[in-house]
Structure 1
Amino acid sequence: MTDETFGEQRVVLVTGASSGFGRLTAQSLARRGHRVFAGVRDVRGRNEKAAAELAAIEGVDLRVIELDVTDQESADRAVEEVIAAVGRLDVLINNAGGIFVGPAEAFTAAQVQAQFDVNVLGAVRMNRAALPHLRRQGRGVLIQIGSAAARVTVPFSGLYAASKAAVAALTEAWHDELAPHGVESVILDAASYPTSIGVNATMAADQERMAIYGDAFGGYVAALTARSAEIGGEASEVSDAIVQLVETPDGKRPRRTVVAPAAQYEAITAFNRAAEATATAFAADTGISAFMAAR
């Protein structure tokens, strides 16, 4: 994993590292010799056990830090802690997120705000905290963990899909705007894999409106559960892909990476190719090609 820009060891900050993709990624990167800072919210409360387990992994350079991506001060402190400890930050992995599941009508405005506060503004806060350091370095990587839902919105996942679509749009803007500063912004879109995100899903609060969709929602959950079990797949497929992005040399990382079962992968990849062609044609027609990074 030698790279002329980073050397053999990257300094990586992973948000949402208490469980799921974040935890698997932090562990995998540390075991591969990288210096990892695992951002965990509420390390002395509900995530105390997870934080202790991460900190107890032997023979690796992994440090747990308190990090709540819904708080700009917390985001700033976490990045400063990394810089103070190591003197640099090479890779920021914006993994922290949650999912709200149910009919779009049944979510209150406060719930919509809460979904975006973690999934979208969480990445915005972290990137705002990290970017001044990355620009001074003249290098660095922002990796957003997106979702296939940003490309294909299905019933009863509209709120989550909207938040991931927003992250995808921001990633595109960051990619082009930051390229002249030597900073890369990329996104990994994952299909549904078995992690704790589904178990911790937030349901729609308006029970009266939720009841209107009750039968359809129940059937949707049953169908999705049955099909997911049929398709299979391991969460480690996603963490492995994130590790590969971290270890890819500068300038070689794809703007978008898809991790999904074969049929879904082919469909989403085709969608991405068409989107790339559309973006290139649009830029040429509007005269802004010079401001777009290489595609």
Structure 2
Amino acid sequence: MTNKILITGASGGFGALAVKTLLSQGHAVAATMRNIDSKNKAISEELSNLGAHIVEMDVTQEDSVNNAVAESIQLLSGLDVVINNAGVGVLGIQENFTIDDFKRLFDINVFGVQRVNRAVLPHFRRQGNGLIVYVSSILGRMALPFYGPYNASKWALEALAENYRIELSGFGVDSCIVEPGGYPTGFFNNLIFPSDTSRDEEYGDMVHAPKQAFDSFEGALAQNPAQDPQNVADAIANLISTPAGQRPVRTVVDKMGMGEHIEPYNQQLDAIHEGIFGAFGMGDMLKLKV
């Protein structure tokens, strides 16, 4: 089945791979990104040559999001799937990140998703179906030091996605969360670092720990070719091809030894939701109307 798909953050990493994978499967794709005529001109031309519709979108600007969604629906003659992929990471001691650092991060990773959802959901509700895919992270399920604000943003994203799943199920709108581990993509080239280094001395030698941890992880990635970013693109494509009502809420994608510990955690949460919602007579809200 051919789907009409909009994806954010299509200029690199998981986004560009997902666009290429979905196009190869015959889907129609609106690949949204910033700076299509400057910084991202090369990738926008590459994806366009493969058949994608390239649409300018800055998820931090509401007008940009609204205009891009409207343009995408027009170009695709409709919309079936939205992939909230745009995101940015961090590296540093959490105390050193200022409130403005947190605002910048959440504006992309959380508020950007809310802007996109608010733009597409009236269309999905009117047609009585649709799929929203959220690209989260294993760090949206657990915390690791030196990625603190990123952890917080992805935990917030997971809650946002869960609530949408529950509130939209009766309208036929499905919500799925993809939880990748760390992968060798351009994501690591665009990290946000703490703006305030005035407290470094108080942390002593620990101030060097973020970079040491990062370098160690990059070394581990280099030794593990199975941790291929294409795995994430394939997982997204697989969710789209799975019939409505049969998709898992969460899909963990990791070959580094973290995912196997997160899977039981996710299963336990599913059971908790079923038990609590059942106890309050709201069990139907966990079931997609198809």
Q: What's the TM-score bracket when you normalise by the shorter of the two chains? A: over 0.9
* Deviation string, structure 1 residues 83-108 (Cα, Å, up to 9, x no partner): 22333100000000101111110001
Which residue pairs with 2:146 in the alignment? 156
State whether residues 57 and 65 of structure 2, in contact with CA within 8 Å, keep that contact through their aligned partners in structure 1.
Answer: yes
Which residue pairs with 2:120 in the alignment? 130
Cα shift at 1:118:
0.2
Q: Matches of 2:282 and 2:153 in 1, distance apart?
A: 27
Which residue pairs with 2:63 in the alignment? 73
Give unmatched runs, 5+ long, in structure 2: none
* Deviation string, structure 1 residues 128-150 (Cα, Å, up to 9, x no partner): 00000001110110000000001
Cα shift at 1:183:
0.5
Q: Matches of 1:35 and 1:221 in 2, distance apart?
A: 37
Cα shift at 1:62:
1.2
Q: Matches of 1:46 and 1:262 in 2, distance apart?
A: 32
Q: Matches of 1:249 and 1:284 in 2, distance apart?
A: 25
Which residue pairs with 1:169 in the alignment? 159
Cα shift at 1:210:
4.0
Q: Matches of 2:122 and 2:149 in 1, distance apart?
A: 31
Q: Matches of 1:134 and 1:245 in 2, distance apart?
A: 18
Q: Matches of 2:41 and 2:134 in 1, distance apart?
A: 25
* Deviation string, structure 1 residues 53-78 (Cα, Å, up to 9, x no partner): 22223xxx311010111111111111
Indicate the SS of the match to 1:201: coil
Q: From 223, 226, 234, give the equivalent of 1:230.
A: 223
Q: Matches of 2:90 and 2:223 in 1, distance apart?
A: 24
Which residue pairs with 1:53 in the alignment? 46
- Please say which of residues 65-74 and 261-270 is displaced more in the overlay: 261-270
How many pairs align? 284
State whether residues 30 and 76 of structure 2, in contact with CA within 8 Å, keep that contact through their aligned partners in structure 1.
Answer: no
Q: Matches of 2:281 and 2:125 in 1, distance apart?
A: 27
1:1-295 to structure 2, matched below 5 A, reads 8-57=1-50, 61-210=51-200, 212=203, 213-232=206-225, 233-261=227-255, 263-293=257-287
State whether residues 204 and 210 of structure 1, in contact with CA within 8 Å, keep that contact through their aligned partners in structure 2.
Answer: no
Give unmatched runs, 5+ long, in structure 1: 1-7
Q: Matches of 1:159 and 1:115 in 2, distance apart?
A: 8
Indicate the SS of the match to 2:146: coil
* Deviation string, structure 1 residues 6-53 (Cα, Å, up to 9, x no partner): xx2100001000000000001111121111110011112221222122
Seq. identity, %:
36
Cα shift at 1:262:
6.2
Q: Matches of 1:240 and 1:291 in 2, distance apart?
A: 28
Task: From the superposition, tell whether residues 106 and 175 of structure 1 become closer, same or farther in structure 2 (CA, over 3 Å).
Answer: same
TM-score for both structures, normalised by structure 2: 0.93
